[in-house]
Structure 1
Amino acid sequence: MNTVSAVAALDGRPISDPAALVDVEVPVPELRPRDVLIDVQAVSVNPVDVKVRAGLDRQDTPKVLGWDAAGVVEAVGPAVQGLSVGDEVWYAGDLTRQGSNTRLQAVDERLVSRKPTSLSFAEAAALPLTTITAWEALFDRLGLEETSQGTLAVLAGAGGVGSIMIQLAKVRTQLRVLGSAGKAQSREWVESMGADAVIDHHDLLASVRAAAPDGVEYLFSPNTQGNVEAFAQVVRPFGAIVGIDDPSALDLMPLKSRSIAWHWEFMFTRSMFQTPDMAEQGNLLRRTADLVDAGRLRTTLNTTIDDFTAAGLREAHRLVESGRTVGKVVVTR
């Protein structure tokens, strides 16, 4: 059986354990009709990687993580139409399949697009998962358009999703954008992403009221636990909130009297349920690539680890798990 090198998890041990992620050999994936086989050149580590790794029970088969990548098409399935061998691509993959922490990965072509020509593989790998999340949150969940006005509060503005959401909102709407940050480095980063004002998520009520005395129409939340009461006070009546986290309990009743809508965004929904519009993820990545190449969006890469081994990926997981990273962490080959 032909095999390929990969980095995998065998159980949910802490990242400080050298066996939390290990170098393994896995079978070369067999292609489904609409799959492309990608020679992975760079991957980004996201909170979902940390969450899945930490929650693993003992695995009989190594679990290859990774849901952000850029690489080169090595082969195509018989029903593939939009991509060819040799294309440089980017994508976020499918939570139900083996991930991108491998030399060769099979991905449905509908989730893939050609990467921006102006970005390196590392710069490109920083963007797909967070861009899809931000795009779907803004334009699918909140229903924003190019003519949309008002104020959007982006919490964790220096994080992966927040960094690209600020940019997308400024480029594709007429919204005023507030980005939250704590430390000085995060504030500088949020400003560099294009936020109109920086708010402090440690003192959300006071800082939002200072920047937007009448409140905000829209709010993005990657950390909902214990914050719904505050959200109800800063979001205007008939406003809307989109969340991406997994709170253990969620009481939305404080939002009712103000008729504030709540939306969930989960970027794996389309691939997980094979929805009829699954190709929209590839489409939005193509549109994003055009915006990047036109100089309207920039990469959110901030930390590069040139070590595509278990050791390098353990370090990337450690950084992301710390919760103190600014921008994205990428591991390159």
Structure 2
Amino acid sequence: MRAVVINEYGSKNVLVGQELPKPEIKANQVLVEVYATSINPIDWKLRAGYLKQMFDWTFPIILGWDVAGKIVEVGSEVTYFQVGDEVFARPDTTAEGTYAEFTTVDEELLAKKPSNLTFEEAASIPLAGLTAWQSLVDNTKVKQGDKVLIHAGAGGVGSLAIQMAKHFGAFVATTASEKNEAYVKELGADEFINYRIQKFEEELSDYDVVIDTMGGDILNKSFQILKPGGRLVTIAGQPDLALTEKHQVTASSHWLKPNGKQLGEIGELLEKRILKPQVGSVFDFSAEALQKAHELSETHHAKGKIVIKVK
């Protein structure tokens, strides 16, 4: 099968095309023919070597942890899915990712692809959608009437988190650049903060929840807008315990847990058009195109999700 791999850590130029054998499935897995995948920050962070302590893998490494495609083979213990099913998933984090024509997925991490979505749209959902869902539902337990700040609302996670928070009945503020004001309001944002000229920590106060996708200084300043008892979750760093105590709030760092059942729930909202996928750009499946896609993701200014059309 064709795959785009890395044989060393480094810049985007270490992404190269390579012929590899099709992966073999275990009893609890299916083999998915990959129609589309997408780019997430974990891809280029791993490529650059930032995560090599966490994932001690041998080369070649196939990056990519989003997939939409068709099942071509099922393991002996698989009960719910069959050959020919159109599915999407955030597979387990292994060295055999989804920048390839075929990938293996554990049955419990799979969900049926919403019938109203293209494969490209479906591939944009799993990692970003589950990150937004788990941050809002499992972690901060957003409910009707909560005031929620979502940082970087035009990005992959932010664009889905805004829609989900509105579905749960929250009042949503978000940060974005001026060019994305109309876009985030279309997604449902009630209040727009132009981060280039406004300081969100001076504009907002008395918030119940912050979803932080940026880390660093932005994460630290986010404590200032929370009311006592407020909840903060970050996907981009570790909250400062001293700030948690000072502002009398709860704060945690969230690392996504792949989950087919939750992805199925998100799929139902997509099927009902309560949620809409946000595909910002689509690239072909080649080493050169993936290099460009990584370059775009690394700017932190990509709108929506960056998708790779494999088939």
| Same fold, TM-score > 0.5, yes or no | yes
Could you tell me how far apart the structure 2 residues matched to 1:25 and 1:235 are?
51
Aligned residues with identical type, % of pairs: 32
Answer whether contact 2:201 2:224 (CA < 8 A) is retained. Answer: no
Shift of 1:218: 0.2
What does residue range 42-53 of structure 1 map to in structure 2 within 5 Å?
42-53=36-47
Could you tell me how far apart the structure 1 residues matched to 2:267 and 2:105 are?
19
What does residue range 194-213 of structure 1 map to in structure 2 within 5 Å?
194-202=188-196, 205=199, 207=200, 209-210=202-203, 212=204
Cα 1:104–1:294 change in 2 (3 A) is same
Shift of 1:194: 1.1
Could you tell me how far apart the structure 1 residues matched to 2:302 and 2:219 are?
25
Does 1:64 pair with 2:62? yes
Paired residues in the alignment total 306
Could you tell me how far apart the structure 2 residues matched to 1:224 and 1:314 are?
25
Task: Give SS of 1:8's match.
Answer: strand
Could you tell me how far apart the structure 2 residues matched to 1:309 and 1:104 are?
15
Aligned to 1:259: 248
Could you tell me how far apart the structure 1 residues matched to 2:260 and 2:253 are?
21
For residues 197-223 of structure 1, the C-alpha deviation after alignment (integer angstroms, 9 at most, x for no partner) is: 111334664x4654x4x4211001112
Aligned to 1:175: 170
Match of residue 313, structure 1, among 274, 280, 290: 290
Does 1:14 pair with 2:7? no
Could you tell me how far apart the structure 1 residues matched to 2:58 and 2:252 are?
37
Shift of 1:97: 4.2
Relative to the length of structure 1, the TM-score reads 0.87
Task: Give SS of 1:27's match.
Answer: coil
Amino acid at match of 2:176: A
Could you tell me how far apart the structure 1 residues matched to 2:135 and 2:197 are?
24
Could you tell me how far apart the structure 2 residues matched to 1:67 and 1:204 are?
35
Amino acid at match of 2:248: S
Could you tell me how far apart the structure 2 residues matched to 1:204 and 1:256 are?
27
Task: Give SS of 2:209's match.
Answer: strand
Amino acid at match of 1:266: W
What is the Cα-based RMSD across aligned positions, in Å? Answer: 1.9
Task: Give SS of 2:217's match.
Answer: coil
Answer whether contact 1:228 1:254 (CA < 8 A) is retained. Answer: no
Shift of 1:118: 0.4
Answer whether contact 2:201 2:222 (CA < 8 A) is retained. Answer: no
For residues 231-288 of structure 1, the C-alpha deviation after alignment (integer angstroms, 9 at most, x for no partner) is: 22111111010000136xx5331231321101221114xx6xxxxxxxxx11111111
Could you tell me how far apart the structure 1 residues matched to 2:154 and 2:218 are?
19
Could you tell me how far apart the structure 2 residues matched to 1:319 and 1:313 are?
10
Task: Give SS of 1:220's match.
Answer: strand
State the 4+ residue runs in structure 1 displaced beyond 4 angstroms: 56-60, 202-205
Answer whether contact 1:10 1:59 (CA < 8 A) is retained. Answer: no
Aligned to 2:274: 296
Task: Give SS of 1:217's match.
Answer: strand
Could you tell me how far apart the structure 1 residues matched to 2:145 and 2:241 are?
25
Shift of 1:136: 0.6
Answer whether contact 1:28 1:104 (CA < 8 A) is retained. Answer: yes
Could you tell me how far apart the structure 1 residues matched to 2:195 and 2:35 are?
36
Aligned to 1:277: none
Higher alpha-carbon deviation: 4-13 or 100-109: 4-13
Cα 1:259–1:202 change in 2 (3 A) is farther
Shift of 1:228: 4.6
Answer whether contact 2:219 2:234 (CA < 8 A) is retained. Answer: no
Amino acid at match of 1:153: L
Match of residue 226, structure 2, among 229, 235, 245: 235
Shift of 1:40: 0.1
Shift of 1:94: 1.4
Note the residue ranges of structure 1 that are not aligned, 5 or more in a row.
272-280
Note the residue ranges of structure 2 that are not aligned, 5 or more in a row.
none
Amino acid at match of 1:182: S
For residues 56-80 of structure 1, the C-alpha deviation after alignment (integer angstroms, 9 at most, x for no partner) is: 7798631000011100001011111
Cα 1:241–1:59 change in 2 (3 A) is closer
Could you tell me how far apart the structure 2 residues matched to 1:42 and 1:228 are?
33
Could you tell me how far apart the structure 1 residues matched to 2:129 and 2:278 are?
10
